[in-house]
């Protein structure tokens, strides 16, 4: 076949995109498309021309298993395979380091963790609280988050100022043991701050082992998917 | 959901750089319409979801090949899904006598759940430009185009379905596409 004839190429591209080019002829055109830019261009033109025909096809929500399979096959989820004993200890060790670091910081900056320091004075110990210490990619402590067990206010102390592009916000997320991350509030880029959560710490965080922060265009709505996390850390119960 | 072109292009570009969160957003924004397209052709949800899965694995590895200059993101993604669905459909046709029959031998009467292809063509007609162009195509030629595009029927299947000689089917399709092109490309 003489593929130099543009009208022939165009006709093949049309039937290929439309779907009526079948069998060996279809495979041949696919090879041709990879080898000959003019063939690829003709196919792209037809794809663009015919896309309005696909627009009225009703959307169908895929089962969650589709994304899970895609995620696994593209390396998003690490496989739990037979590994050395050390690999089993890694998360435990990481958690222990996180807890020790958190407690250390809580002792160093108790006032920032629990704003009600009078109570601390009176009782001689910290009240029951949820505490999170978030670190940056380099592992440096960046944000301390704390809230009393039955309170709705999350107090934030930024230990290391965060660069936020103009017009963006720093969104804090709770990463539950099971299920998708959910947004809990927006934090400041420096110094101190606080936000009110939609429920008490006990309601929201009792099954949340980790917290994270991402940069978003606007405060995230419930059900939103987070952007890349710039800070993550353990969330622990302080009692 | 009105995911605009710039947003989808941005997610595709980030996906090419290995950004998993952008990949997830791209998936969330486009997977339902893409599954709709695959389901039209394959009729069975499990097969359509397999195609969707293959398509997105493919997208993860080949996002770098997407060229914003050549086509819009959804056009590019739809083409990937359509091609995989058509291949899956024809692979099935070769392996199974009746692609609508499952392992237990029960016939799935899923055809009724789908809007008929002509109905979809009419819906597409509502989109301004295509409306004027498709209006010129009538009768069996119109039905032929709808069945080929939406149900993935081949020339011989169309001939059997419409009870028309295969030669006529080929001419209807070719002339139909020529007509569409002339009309859609007109300034």
Return the pLDDT at A79.
43
Distance, in angstroms, between B107 CA and closest chain A CA?
A: 22
Question: In this predicted structure, what is the pLDDT of residue A83?
Answer: 47
In chain B, which residues have their Cβ closer than 8 Å to the Cβ of A76? 20
Contact B154 A59 (CB under 8 A): no
Selected for mutation to probe chain B from A17, A23, A41, A70 (highest B CB count within 10 Å) is A70
The chain B residue lying nearest A27, using CA atoms, is B87
Q: Does A41 touch chain B (CB under 8 A)?
A: yes
Among residues of chain A, what percentage have pLDDT more than 70? 80
Model confidence at B100: pLDDT above 60? no
ipTM over 0.90: no
Contact list in A for residue B154 (CB cut-off 8 A) is: 20, 22
Q: How far is A8 from chain B (nearest CA, A)?
A: 12
Residues in chain A: 239
Residue A175 has pLDDT above 60, yes or no: yes
The mean pLDDT of chain A is: 82
pLDDT at A236 over 70: yes
Structure confidence at residue B110 (pLDDT)? 41
Pairing of strands A192-196, A129-135: unpaired
Give the pLDDT confidence of A12-28 residue by residue, as tens digits: 999 999 999 988 889 99
pLDDT in tens, B33-71: 999 999 989 989 999 999 999 999 999 998 988 887 788
Which long-range contacts (C-beta less than 8 Å, at least 24 apart) are formed by A123-131?
A: A126/A238, A128/A237, A128/A238, A128/A239, A129/A201, A129/A237, A129/A238, A129/A239, A130/A201, A130/A205, A130/A235, A130/A236, A130/A237, A130/A238, A131/A102, A131/A106, A131/A235, A131/A236, A131/A238
- Distance CA(B162)–CA(B153), nearest Å, equals 11
Per-residue pLDDT of B146-187, as tens digits, reads 889 988 999 999 999 999 999 999 999 999 999 888 887 776
CA of B8 vs chain A CAs: smallest distance (Å): 14
Average pLDDT over residues A68-90: 67
Q: CA A144 → CA A58, A95, A236, B153, distances in Å?
A: 46, 16, 12, 61
């Amino acid at each position: 076949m003489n593929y130099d004839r543009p009208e022939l190429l165009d006709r093949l591209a049309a039937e290929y995109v439309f779907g009526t080019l079948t069998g060996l002829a279809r495979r041949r055109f696919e090879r041709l498309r990879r080898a000959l830019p003019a063939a690829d261009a003709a196919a792209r033109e037809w794809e663009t021309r015919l896309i309005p025909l696909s627009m009225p096809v009703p959307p169908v929500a895929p089962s969650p298993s589709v994304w899970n399979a895609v995620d696994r096959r593209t390396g998003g989820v690490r496989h739990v395979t037979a590994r050395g004993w050390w690999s089993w200890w890694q998360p435990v060790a990481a958690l222990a380091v996180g807890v020790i670091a958190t407690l250390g910081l809580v002792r160093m900056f108790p006032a920032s963790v629990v704003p009600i320091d009078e109570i601390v004075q009176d009782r001689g110990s910290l009240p029951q609280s949820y505490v999170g210490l978030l670190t940056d990619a380099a592992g440096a402590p960046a944000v301390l988050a704390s809230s009393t067990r039955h309170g709705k206010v999350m107090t934030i102390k930024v230990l290391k100022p965060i660069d936020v592009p103009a017009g963006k916000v720093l969104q804090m997320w709770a990463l539950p043991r099971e299920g998708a991350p959910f947004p809990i509030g927006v934090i400041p880029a420096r110094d101190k701050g606080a936000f009110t959560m939609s429920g008490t710490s006990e309601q929201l965080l009792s099954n949340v082992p980790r917290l994270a922060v991402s940069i978003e265009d606007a405060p995230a709505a419930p059900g939103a998917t987070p952007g890349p996390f710039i800070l993550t850390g353990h969330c622990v119960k302080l009692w | 959901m009105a995911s605009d072109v710039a947003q989808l292009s941005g997610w595709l570009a980030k996906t090419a750089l290995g950004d998993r969160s952008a990949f997830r957003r791209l998936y969330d924004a486009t997977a339902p319409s893409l599954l709709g397209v695959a389901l039209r052709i394959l009729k069975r949800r499990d097969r359509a979801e397999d195609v969707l899965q293959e398509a997105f694995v493919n997208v993860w590895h080949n996002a770098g090949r997407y060229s914003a200059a050549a086509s819009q993101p959804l056009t590019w993604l739809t083409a990937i899904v359509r091609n995989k669905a058509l291949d899956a459909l024809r692979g099935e046709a070769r392996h199974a006598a009746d692609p609508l029959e499952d392992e237990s031998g029960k016939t799935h009467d899923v055809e009724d759940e789908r809007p008929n292809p002509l109905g979809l063509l009419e819906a597409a007609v509502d989109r301004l430009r295509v409306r004027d162009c498709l209006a010129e195509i009538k009768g069996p030629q119109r039905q032929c185009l709808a069945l080929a595009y939406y149900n993935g029927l081949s020339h011989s299947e169309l001939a059997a379905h419409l009870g028309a000689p295969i030669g006529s089917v080929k001419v209807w399709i070719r002339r139909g596409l020529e007509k569409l092109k002339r009309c859609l490309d007109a300034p």
